Structure 1
């Protein structure tokens, strides 16, 4: 008498359920490390031409070439990022202490001569009105969350987790340099088997998008850091080159770069250097910030053949959904989606 195990449909269902279970459990096991592995993959892909150049200079010494590349990427990119994270965390703690004092003792007096600015009388009047309502000021500081010790502990924990992810990314980066060709060949083979020849186009779209987004973000950050450093030097700030580097690293995240030059402008204003503070603020608002609107669309939209609006939304949505790695994952997902859409349009046109 035939049983259910003799049915081809039943065997396929059981086999499919088995595969889904195995791969699902595998993804669940690896889920804490997927962000770090994605970072390692992006860094390996972007720096792969340099790795090939190093391998050609050191034939037969692949392990040493992979080690040198890993150390180089760590020294030039990951260590500065970690340093910026700790610096920003320390600044947030200092700002929290300052805001706590303001919430308890009230706002400080305005700088002398502020009424002589264009619109300074109106600003002074509004400031005095706020100063006369300490309860409202205290409520606003509480709403910011920077006076909340629980929030500060959560910030410190987040910095620690990101440092651990970067460490794991460095560890994985060595093995990707060492075995990247084999891994990519296997991935292409599996993708082509399941998706057909269209998989090659999807893989190419991913590669082009990753490289364009990385270079677009990095070039924009370098330009903003250079221009901001020039403004810091003209304004007379101490260590303008250091602040320029900090601005460049912070500018890797969209809309975060202005925090640096706005904070330095406020520092100059608090020290009574009104002209330098106003000049630095205008330089940052009119020159530094607009670099983002010039370089990023040219570098990203051109190679990817994707409207910059989609790339921009991919960056912001990726940050919201995946954290810092979403800077690259968001545009990549949109690039693949656009590639599939265009392929469907190509098939639909003959009909």
Structure 2
């Protein structure tokens, strides 16, 4: 059957319409509407043709979304792992403020880090007609993830929406996405260099999972700083722990059952640093008198801890604002399939780093 674009079998650019589906199925627009509504008798063969056309053209039918669009209300959706984390909250705040300034409503979904729930959420947000779907947070960056995200990005693009990867690596130049990152590895390199410049040579890298992109980039920055200072990398000075404060505390307590073979700790988040500080204090070790401590993120509890935490500042709010701005202001066909912004990070010096008291 001939299609609108000359028989290639692909949908026309932009959001697929009822007319597109009717043309593909060889029926009238009212017939397509009846099949979608399911409240009017349609011949079985005709129904099957329409349903096949709906699948092939990836048509999104959602009455609520159409009503919203008809009233002029537009939406921006974002999906994050956990609403409780301060860094997630700051990104979400930036998204909400920029979206509100532009007259958009925000749709929010929490995935809990489950890729399947994330995929379901993207489908739901697409049905709601969101102009942009923003994914926030670390992921397992493998071929399965890239293939899945590329398909999602293409599907959203064809429906007139935009996939935004916020704090995640790009998928490639051919994938229609907006990518907003921060200099994650550079920040880890800078904070580790600060510890090394203070004289520390046994720096414990604490927290995170190297299989996740955020942790992997921070570990890479840590290793690069060691190499720059001529310090050999010791796998025994990398301790895996979740980014949750309580879990970090328990993991450091377990570490301290062994001889203390480090003079400084680079905690991969400020929350991890808070757990580490509590465990060190309970063990009778002072910060920075006995052990220097550095964090990452510059969110509470960085300024609430005593001593105040030296850490890496990440512009999380601006990350969220930039994600919305780029997604909504893009010029279709003029900006290429991929938009990419990289925001800077910097070390905030406070009170938790000093010279090593002794060599471990």
TM-score by length of 2: 0.20
> Which is richer in strand?
2
Which structure would you say has the larger Rg? Answer: 1
TM-score by length of 1: 0.21
> Which is richer in helix?
1
